[in-house]
Amino acid sequence: MSAAAPIAAPFLLGMMRLHEVPELHAPARLADWLEARLDEGLAWFDHADIYGDGQGEALFGAALRARPALARRVRIVTKASIVTRERDASPLAVKHYDSSPAYLTAAIDRALARLGVERLDHFLLHRPDPLMDAEATGRALDDALAAGKIGAAGVSNFLPEQWRRLQAAMHQRLATHQLQLSLDHAQPLFDGSYDALLADGLAPLAWSPLGGGRVMTGPARPTLLALAAERGVSPAGLALAWLRALPGQPRPVIGSLRVERIVTLQADAGLALDRPAWYALLEAARGHEVA
């Protein structure tokens, strides 16, 4: 089994809304878009099986089949374990989580088929499942790693004791934790969960790094605008620099597919934020200074 690819990029491109962007649905058009991003040095793409009920992965895979050379260049993160109400085959039609080996093994195979790639670089459990049999789930992940179907296993939205219970049942190391983290949601920095993931060697990925726009419209807005103007970057670029200043340099997962937005954020990615500016943004976002 080859080693997992390190996530060496200023940010990942989130594919959650790909199915909502008709102008990228034609395989050749999306292939052009992907090739442009790859040529810009952006190779990491974040998926999940529930994004468009599989449409996101299927559209992405169609583009790779239209231009097969791209499949060797892209790096894929995808997630599974959420069963939406529409996908629940039981009479109850209830949204739930499924971390069973049968479900996860099938989810990995379905993702590989939709995406048209030979390996998922990172496969994450999308949400913690209270019914998880850690030994069985860990064995399924170890088996997928040994088979070369996934390059690394990880988790998303887990608390420390949840990922540690899974890790204790595995032979291979969990590599990644995707968590909600932004100026609008800084709680993991103060409740010990962010420190725990660093201590356990998990690479942090930050979903909703701009708080779904709330970072840009909330109480930190005046400070963001002022500091961004001083430093010659966009306010969004400054907000992402706030994240990257953290130990472990969490990689943001950005949701925009607009080329202009992506180019701007990449141009701003070299900003190193000084400590007073970091704390000024934190104070502005929370509405009070640190103790």
User: What residues are labeled active site?
Assistant: 51
Nearest in space to 220 (alpha carbons), one of 269, 291, 264, 280: 280
8 Å CB contact between 182 and 209:
yes
* Residue 246 per-residue DSSP state: S
CA distances to 2, 143, 252 from 281, in Å? 41, 44, 17
Q: What angle do CA 117, 122, 128 make, to 5 degrees?
A: 125
* CA distance linking residue 280 with residue 182, whole number of Å: 14
User: What are the two backbone dihedrals, phi and then psi, of residue 6, each rounded to the nearest 5 degrees?
Assistant: -70, 145
* Residue 69 per-residue DSSP state: G
The answer for 33, left when phi > 0, alpha when psi is -120 to 50, beta otherwise, is alpha
Between strands 251-254 and 82-83, the pairing is: unpaired
User: What are the two backbone dihedrals, phi and then psi, of residue 270, each rounded to the nearest 5 degrees?
Assistant: -85, -5
Helix intervals (H) in the chain: 27-39, 55-66, 101-115, 134-146, 160-168, 193-199, 214-217, 221-231, 235-244, 259-267, 275-286
